[in-house]
Structure 1
Amino acid sequence: MNKTKIALFLVPFFSLNILAQDAVSQETAPQITTPKLSVLDSIKSTFVDHEIASCVDKEWMDELTNQDLFKEMEFDIAHINPDEKVDYDLSTDLLKARLKEMDAKSPFNIEYNQGLENIIKSFLKNRKRSYERLMAISEYYFPMFEAALAKYDVPLEIKYLAVVESALNPHAKSRVGATGLWQFMFATGKQYNLDVSSYIDERSDPLKATEAACQYLSNMYKIFGDWDLVLASYNAGPGNVSKAIRRSGGQQNYWNIRKNLPKETQGYVPAFLATMYIYEYHKEHGIEPKRAAISYFATDTVMVKREMSFKQISDLLDIPEAQIKLLNPGYKLDVIPSVKGKNHYLRLPVPKIAVFTSNEDKIYAYAQIEEDKREKPYFSRKATSPTGNTTETAIASTEARSPYVDYSEEPEIVRGSKIVTKTKYHTVRKGDNIGEISQKYGVTVSEIKKWNRLKNNNVMLGAKLKIQTNERVATTVVKKTPKPAAKTKDTTETAIAAVEKQEAKTKEVAADDTENKEDEKSEFYVVQKGDNLNSIARKYGVTVAEIKEWNSLEDTNVLSGSKLKLIPNENVPVIETKAEKAQQQIASSAKVHQYLVQKGDSLFSIAKKYPGVTVENIKKWNDISSENIKPGMKLKIQG
C-alpha cells in the first residue's frame, strides 16, 4: 500500500524532470547556419542544365600535348637516309603488291623503290609504339582535316602530312620557328591570314591553320600539277623545287629530281608515303592503336563576346584549365581577348557548350565582377571632390581670400591628393602566367616584359617580377586660416598694400593657367637612334635647357626609345636635320619599279638584275622575312 503511494508520488516528479531536460536540451542545441555563398557559387547555383562531366582525362591530355613524338619525327626527317638498308622481316614482293594497291586508289605516284622500302622498314622497326600513340591522336584531328581537305578538293591522304610535320601537336615549334600542326612560318602564316599577336597565335589553331594549309597546297598544285612535287615544295619551298627541276634537265618526277633537292626534303616525301603505308597496314604489322578519350565530333564552339580567362571559364563550368588549353591551343596567354571587328571562339565538350550558351548573361556578369575587382591605375590628373568640383578647384576656392584679412595666426589644413608611381614585386606561383599577372595589377604584358627584361612570355616559378603602378595618395597642406585683423583706420597705405597683395595672387593664378595650357599643348617624342638633345631642340624650336627642365634631366644623355615631353614653339617652323633632308632627297629621287615574279625566279636572281640591289633590300621593301617567293607575286624594287 505504501509502495503504491510512493510510486504515484514519484511518477509526476520524474515526468516534470524529463520535460525540463528536454526544454534545456532544445535551448542549448547549436543553431545550424547556412554558410554564405561566394559570388561564383551564387551564379553557378542558378545555372540551367548544370552537369559536372570531364570527357578528357589527364593521361589523354598529356598525350595530346606530348612534345616527344614531335622531336622524334623532326629528328627522323632531318637524319633519315633512304639509301641505308634496314634489317626487318618484310618481303619485297609483299611490299610491292601493297604499294600497288595504295597507288590504285591514290592521286600520289606510289611506286616501289629501294629508298621507300628502307624508310618503311626503319619506321616499323624503331617507331611502332610512336605510331600507336599517333593513331589515337589521329582519331581527334583527322575528321577535322578531312572536312577541310574535301572542301578544297585536296586529296584526303594529305592528312598524313600533319603527322610528318608536327606529330599532330598544335604547340609544336621547329628550330627555325615554324609553329603548329601544319608548321607555318610567321611570314607564310600572315600571307594566309593567320593572326599572330601577344594574345593569340592562329598557327596553333587547328581549324584556321588547317584552312590555311589547304589553301596553300591547292595553290601549289596549280603551279606544279603534281602532288609529290607539292609535298616537296611544302617542305623546301617552290623555289628550291624549281631549281631541282632545272638541275635535273627538266625532269618532273620527284624520284628523278630528289638528289637535287635539299637534304631534309630528300627524306620528306618518302617519310610521308611510309606513314601512309603504316596507317593503311598497321594491323598486318601488329600495331594496335590506342583509343582517343574524346573525338572531334564530341566538341563544339561558341563565340565569346567579351574578354575572359581560362580560369574564369574553368571555375564556372567545372572543367579543368588543362582541358580548355588542349581544346583551344591558339590562345597564348590562356585568355580569350575581345578585339573590335574580330570574332574569337571557344571550343568545349558538347555538354559544356550547352551550359555556356544557356547561361551566357550570367557568365559574362561574373567576368565583369572579376574585372571590377582588379586594381585600376589612375590616369586623370584631377580628383573629383564629393561636391563635384576637382581637388584643385576646391583648394583654389580656399585661397580666394579677402585682402583686408590677416592670415598670420591660425593654421588651416587643406586635404587633396596626387598620383605617385609605386614599385611592387610579384612572386610567381604555380599556375601563374604573365597574362593573369598583368590583369591583377592593371598593367600590360609588354610593360611587365620591359620592366623585367623578359624576351618572351614565359615566367619561372619562384621568380620575382617588378611591377610599377600609378596610385593616388592623400596629401595634406597646412595653410594660414583667416583671422579678423584688429580694427584700424582704413588708410590709403592699407588700401595700396591690399591692392598689391591681390595683384600678386592674380599673377600666381595666371602662372598656374599658363602651366595648364602648356600641359595641354605638350606632346611626347620617342627618341630615335642617333638623336641628341641638340637635334631634337632644333626640330621643335626650343632650347636644350627647356627639354631638360620639362623632363627633369640632369645631363644631355638620352636613351634610344625613351619618351621626352616637349612643348613645341608654334612660331618656329620644325627644322629638318641635314641627314633627314638627305634621306628625303634620296627617297624622292629613287624610282620604284614593280617586278612580276616568274617561274624559277629567286630573290638572288632578281637582285642581280638591278645594280646595287641586295636580297635584304628586296625583303625590306616588300616586308617579307623569308626568301620563299612564288610566280605571280609583285615585288617593289627601288633603284
Structure 2
Amino acid sequence: MKRLILLIITFSVYSYASLIGSNFSQRDLQILEDLDIKSSFITDYKLQEVYEKFQNSRNSRHYVTKLNEASLFVPRVKDVLKQEGIPSVFIYMAMAESNFSIDAKSSARATGLWQFMDRTANRYGLKIDMYVDERMDLVKSTYAASKYLNRLHKIFGKWYLAAISYNCGEGRVIEALTRATLDLYVEKYPEQQNSKKIRSFRKIIKGYQDRKVPFYELRKVYREVSKWNINPDVEDLLVVQDNIDRQYLPKESRVYIRKIISLAMMNTLNFIKKDENSHLLNMGISATIATVPVKGGLHLKNIAKSMGMTYTDLLNLNKHIKQSIVPPTSKYYTINIPYSRLTRFNQNRDNIEDTKFAIHIVKRGDTLSQIAEKYKVPVRLIKDYNNFKSSRLSLKQKIVLPIPSDMIGKINLFKMNNKKIVKKYTVKSGDSLYSIARKYKMDVKKLMKDNKMKNTLLKIGDSLVLK
C-alpha cells in the first residue's frame, strides 16, 4: 500500500513537472531573469492562475486588440525604455497600469500610460497646467517613469522590487522587506524570537503601521536588518500568511507583479504567432513616432493639415495638449507625430498656418466668466491670450478667443441661442428685489418665479438665481 501511495505521489509530481515544461518556454524564463526573479518562480501556483486566466479566448482577444491599438506608439515607448536602461519587459507594466490607454484615468486620479499621480509627476519633471498635462504625453511620461523606476532599482537592487514599489510605494516595500527579513531570521535562529533587539524592531514596525512612528525610523531598521545576509525573495514577499490582516504586500501588488509577468509571457504564445498577429512580435524594430518642436500658439488642426494627416489622428498622439493649442507661453514646444509624416513636416514646418482666432465683442452685461463658459475656454486662458491683468471689461472691447474662428459654429457644449447663462447673486446690505431686478434688467415677477419666492422680502446673504 505504501509503495502504491509513493507511486501515485511520484506520478503526480512528474505530471506537474511535465505540465510546467510544456506550458513555459526559455523565453518565459528570460522574462523572470530580466526582472531579477529566480526561474523556480515559474512554478508559482498563483502565477499560473493569472496566466491561464489571460489565455481564455475573451482575454486573449482583448490582449491582441490592445496590442494592435497601441502598435503605433509601443515601439517609441520601448525605445525610451532601452535608452534609459529599463528592461523591455516593463512595456507590459504600462499595459498592466493603463491597458495601453494614453489618457487613462483612475478613481484615485492617476493619469496616463504610466498612471502618475500629480505630485509624483511634478517630481519627475512632468508639467500639469492649464495648457498641458504631460502625464498623457506618451514620450515624456515614459522618460519620467524610467527615471522613477531607475531610482527604485537603485534603492532595492532588484527590478521586480522596483515594479512592486511603483505600484504600492517605496515605504510599503521597505516595510515588507523588513518584516520578511525578521521572520526569516527568527525562523533560522528561533532563540532570538524574544530578544530585546527583535522586539524593539517589531515595535517600530507596528508603530509605523499605526502611523505613530515616522518613516525614517522604519528605514533605520531596514538598513540594519539588510546587513544580516537574510535576503527575502519574491516568493517570500508574495506569500499569504495565515491569521495576518496586513500581509507583507497588498493583494493588489501581489497580483500586479504576476500580471506583468503573465502579460509578457502572452507575447510568446502560439496565437500571437499566427499570420494575422505575427506583426505584434516585431513591435519596436522600426521607429514609428517622431518628436518635433513647433511654435507656441499653433493649433493641432493646422499642424495636421500641413502634414496631410487628419486632426483626430494627430490629437490621439498628443492628448496631453489641452484645448488642442500648443502652449502659447512657450516659444517652442515638442509634439508627437507619426514617423511616416516627418519628411513632410520638415518640408512645411515654416509654413504652418497661424491660428485665426475667434473674436468676441463685449456687450452690456458680459463678464469674463460668462464668455469663458459660452465658448468652453478657461478664464485664465482668455486672460493670458489678451494680456489681461484683471477681469474688468468695457463695452465693444474685442477679446481674442483661443479657439479657431472656423470652429465657433461647431461648439455644442454650450450654445447661447438655446441655453441661457445662469448667475448667482448674493444679497447685500441695502439691496431690494426691485433694485436687483433693475440692475440686471430683469422683471421682478420672473425673478421671484425663478427663485420660488412668495414675497419680496430679502435677507443679507440670501443667494438669488439670475437667468
Output the TM-score relative to the length of structure 2.
0.59
- Partners of 1:319 and 1:206 in 2: CA distance: 19
Query: Which residue number in structure 1 is paired with residue 446 of structure 2?
Result: none
Contact 2:34 2:159 in 1 (8 A): no
Supply the AA of the counterpart residue of 1:367.
D
- Partners of 2:27 and 2:19 in 1: CA distance: 12
> What's the CA shift for 1:159?
1.6
Match of 1:339 among 329, 334, 347: 329
> What's the CA shift for 1:337?
1.3
- Partners of 1:271 and 1:178 in 2: CA distance: 19
Query: Which residue number in structure 2 is paired with residue 83 of structure 1?
Result: none
Q: Within the alignment, does 1:121 sit opposite 2:52 as a pair?
A: yes
> What's the CA shift for 1:193?
0.7
> What's the CA shift for 1:297?
2.2
- Partners of 2:112 and 2:252 in 1: CA distance: 19
Report the aligned-residue RMSD. Answer: 4.4
- 2:252 aligned counterpart, secondary structure: helix
Q: 1:130 to 1:305 in 2, by over 3 A?
A: same
Contact 1:136 1:291 in 2 (8 A): no
- Map 1:112-191 → 2, pairs under 5 A: 112-125=43-56, 126-191=58-123
Query: Which residue number in structure 1 is paired with residue 162 of structure 2?
Result: 230
- Partners of 1:438 and 1:376 in 2: CA distance: 17
Deviations 1:431-477 (A, max 9, x none): x864799769x789xx99xxxxxxxxxx9945446999xxxxxxxxx
Match of 1:253 among 233, 249, 258: 233
- Partners of 1:310 and 1:439 in 2: CA distance: 18
Contact 1:203 1:209 in 2 (8 A): yes
Structure 2: where are the runs of 5+ without partners? Answer: 1-17, 183-230, 241-247, 392-409, 422-427, 430-438, 440-457, 463-467
- Map 1:480-559 → 2, pairs under 5 A: none
Query: Which residue number in structure 2 is paired with residue 374 of structure 1?
Result: 359
Query: Which residue number in structure 1 is paired with residue 34 of structure 2?
Result: 106
Query: Which residue number in structure 1 is paired with residue 366 of structure 2?
Result: 422
Q: 1:138 to 1:423 in 2, by over 3 A?
A: closer
Deviations 1:351-379 (A, max 9, x none): 6444443344432xx416x14x63466xx
Supply the AA of the counterpart residue of 2:297.
E
Which structure shows the higher helix fraction?
2
> What's the CA shift for 1:242?
1.3
Contact 1:116 1:270 in 2 (8 A): yes
- 1:300 aligned counterpart, secondary structure: strand
Query: Which residue number in structure 2 is paired with residue 619 of structure 1?
Result: none
Q: Which has the higher contact order (CA 8 A, sep 6+)?
A: 2
Query: Which residue number in structure 2 is paired with residue 348 of structure 1?
Result: 337
Supply the AA of the counterpart residue of 1:241.
V
Contact 1:426 1:467 in 2 (8 A): no
> What's the CA shift for 1:229?
1.2
Q: 1:119 to 1:201 in 2, by over 3 A?
A: same
- Map 1:612-623 → 2, pairs under 5 A: none
Query: Which residue number in structure 1 is paired with residue 151 of structure 2?
Result: 219
Q: Within the alignment, does 1:310 sit opposite 2:300 as a pair?
A: yes
Deviations 1:608-629 (A, max 9, x none): xxxxxxxxxxxxxxxxxxxxxx
Query: Which residue number in structure 1 is paired with residue 396 of structure 2?
Result: none
- Partners of 1:210 and 1:162 in 2: CA distance: 9
Supply the AA of the counterpart residue of 1:272.
I
Deviations 1:528-557 (A, max 9, x none): xxxx99xxxxxxxxxxxxxxxxxx9xx997
Match of 1:275 among 246, 263, 270: 263
- Partners of 1:100 and 1:173 in 2: CA distance: 31
- Partners of 1:351 and 1:124 in 2: CA distance: 34
> What's the CA shift for 1:160?
1.4
Supply the AA of the counterpart residue of 1:106.
D
Q: 1:350 to 1:159 in 2, by over 3 A?
A: closer
- Partners of 2:169 and 2:117 in 1: CA distance: 11
- Please tell me whether Structure 1 or Structure 2 has the larger radius of gyration of its CA atoms: 1
- Partners of 1:426 and 1:127 in 2: CA distance: 47
Relative to structure 2, which stretch is displaced further, 123-132 or 349-358?
349-358
> What's the CA shift for 1:281?
2.6
Deviations 1:28-62 (A, max 9, x none): xxxxxxxxxxxxxxxxxxxxxxxxxxxxxxxxxxx
> What's the CA shift for 1:103?
5.5
Contact 1:426 1:464 in 2 (8 A): no
> What's the CA shift for 1:286?
6.2
Q: Within the alignment, does 1:300 sit opposite 2:290 as a pair?
A: yes
Q: 1:137 to 1:105 in 2, by over 3 A?
A: farther
Contact 1:135 1:289 in 2 (8 A): no
- Partners of 1:334 and 1:467 in 2: CA distance: 27
Output the TM-score relative to the length of structure 1.
0.44
Q: How many residue pairs are counted as aligned between the two chains?
A: 327
- 2:237 aligned counterpart, secondary structure: helix
- Partners of 1:312 and 1:558 in 2: CA distance: 49
Q: 1:104 to 1:130 in 2, by over 3 A?
A: closer
Supply the AA of the counterpart residue of 1:336.
V
Contact 1:327 1:348 in 2 (8 A): yes
Structure 1: where are the runs of 5+ without partners? Answer: 1-89, 378-418, 449-458, 469-531, 534-551, 560-639
Q: 1:349 to 1:286 in 2, by over 3 A?
A: closer
